[in-house]
Amino acid sequence: MVASSTGRLHELDSIRTIAIVSMTFGHVANYSFLWLISHPVITVWDGASLFVLVSGIVVGLVYRSRIEKYGMAASAKKLLRRAGFLYLAQLALVTLALTIAYTLPSAGADQFRLPGVDSLPTAIGWALVLGANPIYVNFLSLYVVLLIAVIPMLYLLQHSRRLLATVLLVGLYVLGLQFPQAFTLPNGSQGKSGFDMATWFVMFATGVWAGWVWRQRRADERLMSRRVLWIGVPGLVLFAAAALFITVADTSYVDWWRDKGLMAPLRFAAAWVFFAGCYWLIRLVDRLPRGSRLTDQMAVLGARSLDAVVILTLVTILSQGLLGLDSATRPAQLLAIATVIVAWLWACYRARVMVKV
């Protein structure tokens, strides 16, 4: 177990970098060769699910220590301040996307328009209440909700209300699957955003729970055990087989099981399976000669993962909305690689500033 420069676990920050790269290729260079190789099981695998899961684990790890040191009230205030900052960031990005879509209409910009909303002021009004969530710029609004909603979860974990937490999470997940319209932020007057907040929160909360008990249960040792290997390998085979089946039998029933916006059961389970696989991969790379140097640099980017999300969102808006760049072309793929490099350089700068402070 290696600590990153931020005090979190080296492996977790490295895995978040894998998620960021997948998200960047999926947004800036969607449906390109880079997108294809970064989504090996495209029907159940995506960087956003892995990102949310690992972010939950990091929150559980960090905030257990913070709550034990500073108390629940101070920790909740810090989470709310962070949510407030992200709210302003998503508002700025969504407003930029909407302004381009409504003032400079084009094939690329039209994807950011809100269904049923014809005026820019009305669209911005929806953005103020987290209700304007065009494609590729809706992730931060989800994260704002997750950070606020996790405060009661941390309270239950602090007071060892595990049974109550389990019942609430199971109940919330079932309700989210059955009534997604009740838990989905509106995207204009006639549409919906891409994320069912209830089911995605349950994914995030299970990660928080794992992070809360991570050190006490020695999760790093358990993840590297043979038991996980015996479970994980068949799990990967199962998901590969499920992907093949879905490709052959593309029915609405099968689609429901792997629905991303709904965080359906197959995608939920896949996130955990791929997390375990990525954890094994990082640990194996660490054991190679100079392998730790690579994962150290990966961890730097993962430690500033939300900064990277802001950067990739801004690049997506400008490249597709303003410049009209086709995400499946070679220039888009080069831009996606450049975006990852810029995000890493920014993370290195932030890390140096933190050390000096």
Q: Is residue 324 part of a domain?
A: yes
Among the ranges given (4-8, 43-47, 116-120), the one the predictor scored with the smallest mean pLDDT: 4-8
Q: Is residue 1 part of a domain?
A: no
Q: Please report the pLDDT score of residue 248 as a whole number.
A: 65
How many structural domains does the chain have? 1
What confidence category does residue 270 fall into, taking pLDDT thresholds of 50, 70 and 90? confident
pLDDT at 190 over 50: no
Per the model's pLDDT, the better-predicted residue between 137 and 74 turns out to be 74
**CA–CA separation, 295 and 279 (whole Å):** 11
Q: Is residue 253 part of a domain?
A: yes
Q: For residue 214, count CB atoms less than 10 angstroms from its CB and return exposed for 0-12, middle for 13-18, buried for 19 or more.
A: buried
Q: Is residue 3 part of a domain?
A: no
Phi, psi of 4 (to 5 degrees): -80, 175
**CA–CA separation, 345 and 349 (whole Å):** 6
What confidence category does residue 6 fall into, taking pLDDT thresholds of 50, 70 and 90? very low
SS (H, E, C) the chain: CCECCCCCEHHHHHHHHHHHHHHHHHHHCCCCHHHHHHCCCCCCCCHHHHHHHHHHHHHHHHHHHHHHHHCHHHHHHHHHHHHHHHHHHHHHHHHHHHHHHHHCCCCCHHHHCCCCCCCHHHHHHHHHCCCCCCCCCCHHHHHHHHHHHHHHHHHHHHCCCHHHHHHHHHHHHHHHHHCHHHHEEEECCCEEEEEEHHHHHHHHHHHHHHHHCCCCCCHHHHHCCHHHHHHHHHHHHHHHHHHHHHHHCCCHHHHHHCCCCCCCHHHHHHHHHHHHHHHHHHHHHHCCCCHHHHHHHHHHHHHCHHHHHHHHHHHHHHHHHHCCCCCCCHHHHHHHHHHHHHHHHHHHHHHHHHHHC
108-163, pLDDT tens digit by residue? 899 999 888 889 999 999 999 988 888 888 899 999 999 999 999 999 999 999 99
Among the ranges given (189-198, 245-254, 306-315, 345-354), the one the predictor scored with the smallest mean pLDDT: 245-254
User: Residue 152, CB half-sphere, CA atoms under 13 Å: how many?
Assistant: 10
**CA–CA separation, 200 and 228 (whole Å):** 24
What confidence category does residue 49 fall into, taking pLDDT thresholds of 50, 70 and 90? very high
- Kindly report the pTM of this predicted structure: 0.91
Q: For residue 337, count CB atoms less than 10 angstroms from its CB and return exposed for 0-12, middle for 13-18, buried for 19 or more.
A: middle
Q: Is residue 184 part of a domain?
A: yes
Mean pLDDT of 189-207: 82
Q: Is residue 114 part of a domain?
A: yes
Q: Please report the pLDDT score of residue 220 as a whole number.
A: 85
Cβ contact 21:341 at 8 Å: no
In sequence order, the β-bridge partners of residue 192 are 186
Phi, psi of 108 (to 5 degrees): -75, -40
**CA–CA separation, 288 and 276 (whole Å):** 19
Query: Which residue type occupies 1?
Result: M
294-323, pLDDT tens digit by residue? 999 999 999 999 999 999 999 999 999 999
Q: Is residue 72 part of a domain?
A: yes
pLDDT at 249 over 80: no
Q: Please report the pLDDT score of residue 181 as a whole number.
A: 84
Among the ranges given (43-52, 56-65, 249-258), the one the predictor scored with the smallest mean pLDDT: 249-258
Q: Is residue 5 part of a domain?
A: no
pLDDT at 99 over 70: yes
Q: Please report the pLDDT score of residue 43 as a whole number.
A: 60
Largest distance between two CA atoms of the chain: 58
213-222, pLDDT tens digit by residue? 999 988 888 8
What residues make up the domain containing 106?
10-356
Cβ contact 321:99 at 8 Å: no
